[in-house]
Copies of this chain bind each other. A is one copy, B any other.
Amino acid sequence: MTQTIRVVDKILGANDAVAAENRALFDRVKVFALDILGSPGSGKTSLVCRTAREAGLRMAVIEGDIATARDAEKVAETGVPVVQINTGGACHLDASMVKTALEGLDLTALDLLVIENVGNLVCPAEFELGEHAKMVVSSTTEGLDKPAKYPLAFQKSKCVVLNKIDLAQPTDFNLAEYRKEVAQVKGDLAVVEVSCRTGEGLEGWYEWLRRAVADLRGS
- Chain A interface residues (CB < 8 Å from chain B): 3-4, 7, 11, 39-41, 65-68, 70, 89, 91, 118-123, 139, 141-143, 145-146, 148-152, 164, 166-167, 170-171
Q: Which of B11, B41, B65, B142 sits near A143, CB closer than 8 Å?
A: B41
B66 touches A150 (CB 8 A): yes
Known: A40-B121, A40-B142. 5 other contacts (CB 8 A): A7-B7, A65-B149, A66-B122, A122-B123, A166-B170
Q: From residue A125, how far is it (CB to closest CB) to chain B in Å? A: 9
Q: Which residues of B contact A4 (CB under 8 A)?
A: 7, 11
13 residue pairs of the A-B complex, CB under 8 angstroms, read: A40-B150, A41-B141, A66-B150, A66-B151, A68-B145, A68-B148, A68-B149, A70-B145, A70-B149, A91-B120, A119-B150, A139-B141, A166-B170
